[in-house]
A and B are shown apart, each in its own frame.
Chain A
Amino acid sequence: MSAVRAPLIGRSVERKEDYRFLTGVGQYTDDIVLPAQSHGYFLRSPHAHARLRSIDIAGARDAPGVLAVYTGEDLAGIGGLPCGWLIKSIDGSPMKEPKHPVLAEGKVRYVGEQIALVVAETAAQAKAAAALIDVDYDVLPAVVDTASAAGNSACVHDAAPDNVCYTWAIGDESAVTAAFAQAAHVTRLDLINNRLIPNAIEPRAANAQYSAADDSYTLYVTSQNPHVERLLMTAFVLGLPEHKMRVIAPDVGGGFGSKIYLYAEETALVWASKRVGRPIKWTAERSESFLTDAHGRDHVTTAELALDAQGQFLALRVRTTANMGAYLSTFASSIPTILYATLLAGQYTTPQIHCTVQAVFTNTAPVDAYRGAGRPEATYLLERIVELAARELGIDPVALRRRNFIRSFPHATPVGLTYDTGDYEATLNRVLDLADVAGYPARKQASAAKGLLRGIGYSCYIEACGLAPSNIAGALGARAGLFEAGEVRVHPTGKVTVFTGSHSHGQGHETTFAQVVADRLGISLEDVDIQHGDTGKVLFGMGTYGSRSLAVGGSAIVKAVDKIISKGRKIAAHLLEASDADVEFENGEFRIAGTDRKKTFAEIALTAYVPHNYPLDKLEPGLNENAFYDPTNFTYPAGSYVCEVEVDPETGTVRVDRFSASDDFGNVINPMIVEGQVQGGIAQGIGQALLEGCRYNEDGQLLTGSFTDYALPRADDLPNLDIELSPGTPCTHNPLGAKGCGEAGAIGSPPAVINALLDALAPLGVSRIDMPATPHRVWEAIARSKR
């Protein structure tokens, strides 16, 4: 009898992928050089809105090293970049979906929009030649501001004369009106959720190769979901046969949503690679990333919360205007609707909620999912208005939250979701301990002694993750299912390669997924390899976003592993001359129950591939299984955050002094990796709250187009975060009991920071500050309050 091995699940094992990243042998898209490599450069619009009177490419075409120059005219026959989610307006009409061209056709609609592709021997030659293209622009007035876009005299698309893409609503409006009529108190809040630029440190890149030998294409690209990229590009844009294209997303240097989408650049490169007859590589300069990666957030919102005399929430009414930018990016329409308004119940029993969302086109870069995607906007609104209501009513903000917590599950919200499980009281209690809230008054006094203002702020978030149950998503307008695929290939020696449709660009799938598989098969971690990011290897995949990799991708792998075990049991039964039902599998061994007659996993694997003694009449040889997993519900990670800030009233500088987090992600496979995800998420959330703000001027010029103008958090901007993963309430409907952890930090943290800041400034009479709360803004707010 062999010793029972310690489980890998729940252990912070070091990451399998780290060696290559630490030693510089990882392979990112720009590291790849193909034989006969050529280089592409995109000429981009310097104007936010202009008619293209003419484009003269003669000078560029004749420049040194140039192989080809293409403009929108060359690509006029191909489709636009599609949007994957059809949202319908209140009147039933479909959203306005103007063509999103691969290269501009007739007009440019934001600064940075691609007008021409120059292909040359070197990147420098392509860039130099692009400067010789002569474009005659008829500059038009630009629509920039989110709040005033609807009905603006300038118009982004003829197909949407009022600049409105859709006006959508959810909830029972008349019930909300009735509840407000009964309210003892109504709290009203106007806020802006600031526009952000994702800024993965690896810029987007692509390298497209055409092979005349078999009329096929290979695309290396910085993508979070290569199969979706291939499907959209072949079937909806270029009209190429899907099986003649292989998309490889090798090591990808961060995504945060910005690498989900099908972008124009890689599409143009694939199209041009056949015409040029050479592989073409393009890597974005950081300034191109700022101008053209899909941005995030950008909401203008008015919210009203109705409460009874005891502080019970009666109803919530929300009106949001959401900026889509100039074109609909791949997921854009779903973000401020399906992933936003459905989360407005938060952790609370609010019986009636109504939310209207007007999505507008502007002459700015497309806006789509950025870490959290809709859920940070919902959480920010809700946790701000709850705290404001507490202040107005003179109730402790923690007590007001407790009074309204959902306590029984499953819980159906008035905005379409059914939470399967949770324990909000538990994470709140835990974080109050972690944060040493009891010691706060003394810390406040110590700050005051230094002439500094200290404030404390809370945030209790919920998110809907594990995107997504395909039937629910379909009913909400998704044009595709959102399941995931996994394949477990057992080799003759019992070593295992797992193929997953999820993609890792920092999340550590190669370790976490291997822990799950090794544990279930009772084999060592070293004997399991995880492969991802290649349509030529992996059967299918919907990719990584919405904190779905483990909950959905991991569940598909578990299903495939269980099929392996089931087949292994049959093979073992044959070898052991027993019936299938008598064979149990545990600790890597198939054993006849209650006896010492057994076969190891490796022996079964060898038998499956070298079938000298094999029941060929009953079983196929081989040990390789596929599985698709479609979740039956979203998962609902939740948690509570507490932030303390110190403000210098003389300079407006805000310092996050303490930040504590208690998160319930259900079962956790690798706590070290999960804590890392929360740390990174909170860092981005603090960035949104205090540092990061995308700004265009009124002409649509991006004012924050470099790291010197757009402040990403740096090491000395952040405190150590005190994070605890609560034992939690495992997800009830997936085999791992996992909920997802990638976005939580970015969702829960911004309101905690701003609530803390407003708490600090309350004695000065400051009641409104929008994010990012830069020293300038804080100083101005203080100065205004003194007047």
Chain B
Amino acid sequence: MAVPIEMIVNGKSVATEVDADTLLSTFLREHLRLTGTHVGCDTASCGACTVHVGGRAVKSCNVLTAQLAGQDITTIEGITPRDGSLHPMQAAFKACHGLQCGFCTAGMVMSAIDLVLHHPHATEEEIRHGLEGNLCRCTGYQNIVKAVVMAAKTMDGGQAS
């Protein structure tokens, strides 16, 4: 059954119809072709599909699109500056080699931004705890933690997003 839906995605309004059982991850990837958001599992365990809904990190494979009427959604494409530069979190991941294959990266960056915005002075231990919803099979997390520590210092007291 198709459901009408209106929401904001990466700053633009989207008005369309979706099947009631359409997951947000499916809607973003297949309807809007925002393929920076990845799907790595079917149990909401890996976090690769993490996006922001109303400014909070959410696993987009675990939300129905039809639940999100009027919501403000931001994906990795939405946090990327248009001038070819990088968000401080993206830049920190690059500087610290916090990514290898890149598949978990978008979700990891989105979770990390949420973490730093809400806990700008998180310790390494708190960062490890805060990122436990995101699986990375390549890095062993060490450089990701390093990147989050670096970004926390450059994210302007948590104002840049």
Contact surface of A with B, Cβ cutoff 8 Å? 12, 14-15, 17-28, 30-31, 33, 199-203, 251-254, 256, 285-287, 505-508, 672-673, 675-676, 679-684, 706-708, 712-716, 718, 720-721, 745
Contact at B38–A202, with CB atoms within 8 Å? yes
Contact check: which of B77, B103, B128 meets A28 at CB < 8 Å? B103
Residues B138 and A506 in contact, CB atoms below 8 Å apart: yes
Cα distance, A676 to B40, chains bound together (Å) = 22
Closest residue to A32 on the B side, CB-wise? Answer: B35
Candidates A27, A33, A680, A718; contact of B100 at CB < 8 Å: A680
- A680–B99 Cα distance when bound, in Å, is 10
**Chain B positions within 8 Å of A707 at CB level:** 41, 43, 45-46, 135
Contact of B36 with A25 in the complex, beta carbons under 8 Å: yes
Q: Which of B1-9, B64-72, B88-96, B152-160 contacts A (4 or more CB under 8 A)?
A: B88-96
A253 touches B103 (CB 8 A): yes
Q: Which residues of A contact B94 (CB under 8 A)?
A: 14-15, 18-19, 22
Within 8 A of A (CB), among B54-112: 75-77, 80, 86, 90, 93-95, 97, 99-106, 109
Whether A24 and B76, one on each chain, are in contact in the complex, defined by CB atoms closer than 8 angstroms, is yes
Chain A residues with Cβ below 8 Å from B128 are 715-716, 718
**Shortest Cβ distance from residue A375 to the other chain B in the assembled complex, whole angstroms:** 19
> A30-B39, A201-B48, A202-B101 are known contacts; what are 14 more A-B pairs with Cβ within 8 Å?
A17-B102, A24-B35, A24-B37, A201-B138, A202-B38, A253-B40, A254-B137, A286-B43, A506-B101, A683-B141, A715-B132, A716-B128, A716-B132, A718-B142
Q: Which of A18, A505, A712 contacts B99 (CB 8 A)?
A: A18
Secondary structure type dominating chain B contacts = loop
CB distance from A511 to the nearest CB of B (A): 10
Q: Is the interface of A mostly helix, strand, loop or mixed?
A: loop
Indicate if the CB atoms of A201 and B104 lie closer than 8 Å.
Answer: yes
CB contacts (< 8 Å) of B45 on chain A: these are 286, 706-708
- Bin chain B's interface residue count: 35 or more
Q: State whether the Cβ of B122 lies closer than 8 Å to any Cβ in chain A.
A: no
Q: Assuming A14-B95, A15-B97, is B140 touching A21 (CB within 8 A)?
A: no
Interface positions of B (Cβ within 8 A of A): 29, 33-43, 45-46, 48, 75-77, 80, 86, 90, 93-95, 97, 99-106, 109, 124-125, 127-129, 131-132, 134-145
Contacts of B40 in A (CB 8 A): 201-203, 253, 286
Q: A506-B101, A714-B135, A715-B141 are in contact. Are A706 and B77 (CB under 8 A)?
A: no
- Cβ contacts under 8 Å, B75 to chain A: 24
Residue of A nearest to B95 (CB): A14
Q: In the complex, are the beta carbons of B41 and A286 less than 8 A apart?
A: yes
Decide yes or no: A24 and B101 within 8 Å by CB, A253-B38, A714-B135 being known contacts: no
Complex alpha-carbon distance, A308 and B140, angstroms: 41
Cβ contact within 8 Å between A715 and B41:
no
A507 to B138: give the CA distance in the assembly, Å. 9
The CB with the most chain B CB atoms within 10 A, among A19, A21, A679, is that of A21
A285: chain B residues within 8 A (beta carbon): 42
Chain A residues, Cβ within 8 Å of B35:
24, 27-28, 30-31
Q: With the chains together, A505 CA to B103 CA distance in Å?
A: 10
Report the Cα distance A683→B138, complex, angstroms. 8
Task: Provide the bound-state CA to CA distance between A21 and B48, in Å.
Answer: 12
Contacts of B93 in A (CB 8 A): 18, 22
Q: Are A201 and B95 in contact (CB under 8 A)?
A: no
| Cβ contacts under 8 Å, A672 to chain B | 97
Cβ–Cβ contact B142 & A679, under 8 A: yes
* Residues of the A chain whose Cβ atoms lie less than 8 Å from the Cβ of B102: 17-18, 20-22, 26, 251, 253, 506
User: Would you list 18 pairs from A and B whose C-beta atoms are within 8 A, ordered by A residue?
Assistant: A19-B94, A21-B102, A21-B105, A24-B76, A201-B137, A202-B40, A202-B101, A203-B40, A251-B101, A254-B138, A286-B42, A286-B43, A506-B100, A508-B100, A680-B140, A706-B45, A707-B135, A715-B128
Please indicate the chain A residues that have their CB under 8 angstroms from the CB of B42 in the complex. Answer: 285-287, 706
Contacts of A15 in B (CB 8 A): 94, 97
**Contact check: which of A286, A673, A745 meets B97 at CB < 8 Å?**
A673
Which interface residue of A23, A675, A684 has the most chain B CB atoms within 10 A? A23
CB of A721 within 8 A of CB of B86, answer no
Q: How far is the CB of A221 from chain B (nearest CB, A)?
A: 15
Contacts of A676 in B (CB 8 A): 97, 100, 138-139, 143
Chain B, Cβ-Cβ closest to A675: B97
Q: Which of A21, A201, A718, A745 has the most CB of B within 10 A?
A: A201
Among A21, A26, A199, contact of B137 (Cβ-Cβ < 8 Å): A199
List, in ascending order, chain A residues with CB within 8 A of B99's CB: 18, 21-22
| CA distance in complex: A684, B135 (Å) | 12
Q: Given that A22-B90, A254-B103 are contacting pairs, would A28 and B141 also be in contact in the complex, using a CB cutoff of 8 Å?
A: no
